[in-house]
A and B are shown apart, each in its own frame.
Chain A
Amino acid sequence: MKYFVNEQDIVIPGQIIAEGENINLSGSVYKNGNKAIANNVGIVQKATENKIRVKPLKGKYFPNVKDIVIGLVEETNLTSWKVDIGGPYPAILLVSNATNDQFDPINDDARKYFDVGDAIRAEIRTFDRTRDPQLSTTTGKGLGKLVGGRIIEINPSLISRVIGRNGSMISKIKEFTGCKIIVGHNGRVWIRGENVDKELKVIEAIDKIIQESHVTGLTERVIQFLKEK
């Protein structure tokens, strides 16, 4: 077992990360023989001696079952909606997964639930690479149409930074601004506050986090920033 990279190194596709038996891989890595090779621009994280993870630094959102995403309704059909969730595939939301009401496509209009342009928060119900992801808004609380507020998009691989360790960051922002914030797995962040200024404050804070989080004491500085505002 031999490593060719250090922890926190940036790796480039094709770069050999480790060689040897029993390498435990996760993230953007593939195996060729006994070599572990990066398949994306990523950062090396080593959990234990035999565990390597390459966290990709960029890339489109790739759907996973049970992800909570913020989607944008692009099309309404008789009994379904086509929803843009930012990944390679458009998601489908069937009326039967959107409401528990009796829905009769002849008399009822799907648009009274969601219309084109609506932002929705939904759970990915099924997705298995052979067909497009199916969404659901009935499988949990807090799923459905997002009204008001605004949505910003960030790189999906940076959302953990915005949330902070065990949610410390996001809860601080919420605490100081009183805004409601939802971070979707697909990198979309919905923010709604009492007024526009508070929402802007959140957006600025998120920008700050993304841009300068390499300096230590980020949480303190973000708190300071929020206080000043």
Chain B
Amino acid sequence: MSAMVNEKTVTCIICPAGCRIRVSMQGGEIASIKGNLCKRGENYAKDEVTHPTRVLTTTVRLEDGRLLPVKTARPIPKALLFDAVKELSNVVVKVPVKIGQVVYSNVAGTGVDVVATRSWK
């Protein structure tokens, strides 16, 4: 029985080389990783293909109408970025806010906190 062979290309962002790394997938498993100049690229490509994550940065409203820049305290799955933004569009935060303060918990069910990236008086 032959499983589907599927190739994905990932551009590495670990260093300025920007290797175009080709990852072959066979039946949901990584079959080969090619085109990377170093080991770090291999790990990056593996993560990108199996469970890509990103730190989300966006804004939420303060109760007085101003905007508060925020970020997820840790990277969240890339596939949940839009859900997270949507959820955060309903969040209203009380003033004053301190940088690093948690303004929302468990965004998009990820278990990750959303924190303020500036203080507002």
Asked whether A and B interact, the reply is: no
